[in-house]
Amino acid sequence: MSQNEKTLKELLKEGFTHGGVFHADDVFATALLKILNPNIHISRGFSVPESFSGIVYDIGGGKYDHHQKNSRMRENGVPYAAFGLIWEQFCQELLSKEDAKAFDEYFIQPIDRSDNTGEENIMSLIISDRLPTWQENTVKMEEAFWEAVAFAQKILEQRFKQIRADREAYEIVIRKAKECRGGILYLEPVVPWKEALRDYPKDILFVIYPSIRGGYNIQAVPCREDKNALRHPFPQSWCGASPQELQKLTGIKDITFCHKAGFLSVAETLEGAFSVARLVIHGD
């Protein structure tokens, strides 16, 4: 165990949050703490025990509460709730600075805003659906809370896994893009590439990669300014044409498909895929 891990686990040995009705804010905050330290012991109640020395959140008026006057707000005007406050302090343990900021913006801020203002948010609604209905015994509230936490923890763990994988893919694509010539980038194995190429100079027009259906995809790169526009779409005459028509139009015997929207074509061989891309770029 590294010194940072040891310090974190010592800091997060115990947690305390409010009892009763739960919301996405305290549920996701709890799930986050359990990811940071799987052995943390978290209790719920309606007042913080005087002798409690662990992390207190969403109750008590301290650093990780947001119900008091002059509670903190982000620069963009979105108020913090417990989830965002805990994320701000510990996010570097899980993601890069850039990815942590993006995650706060698209995932945490809607939950924080909902908890502070009552604004509807789909994730907050999904967690609220875990509450016992009015026909059910509220004694089940504690059980429902921990079921909601387990659900939220799976969401966070999978999201973090995907973010880290996307970051690795981004770095792979940028590295390969620097070696690319002729406006055609070949990726094998295929990794997510659109985000990286949006940030890269416009000289890369097509990406070729193996298709899970067999053969090779030739995909046009979206524009940075408008992701629905393409740097170099396939010719309109190709779009939606049959394999026989495509072969006649291109003179390439193993081209088999061109999407009617003009962003994707397929060839049976790698050589054929490069021939398709070169034909579109150079017209010969």
Which two structure tokens, joined as six digits, stand for 142? Answer: 């504690």
Which two structure tokens, joined as six digits, stand for 146? Answer: 């921990």
Count of domains observed in the chain: 2
Whether 12 and 37 have beta carbons less than 8 Å apart is answered as yes
Which two structure tokens, joined as six digits, stand for 98? Answer: 């850039």
Beta carbons within 10 angstroms of residue 75's beta carbon: 5
Same domain, 160 and 266: no
Domain that holds residue 68: 3-169
pLDDT digits (tens, 9 = 90+) for 134-157: 888 777 899 999 999 999 999 999
Can you point out the beta strands (E) in 4-121?
Answer: 14-18, 41-45, 55-56
pLDDT digits (tens, 9 = 90+) for 21-79: 999 999 999 999 999 999 999 999 999 999 999 999 999 999 999 999 889 999 999 99
φ, ψ (nearest 5 deg) of residue 64 = -110, 25
Same domain, 81 and 108: yes
Same domain, 57 and 150: yes
pTM of the model: 0.85
Same domain, 137 and 233: no
Phi-psi region of 202 (alpha: psi -120 to 50; beta: other; left: phi over 0): alpha
Per the domain annotation, does 175 fall within a domain? no
Measure the CA–CA gap between 241 and 146, rounded to whole angstroms.
55
Q: Which of 100, 134, 169 is the last residue of a domain?
A: 169
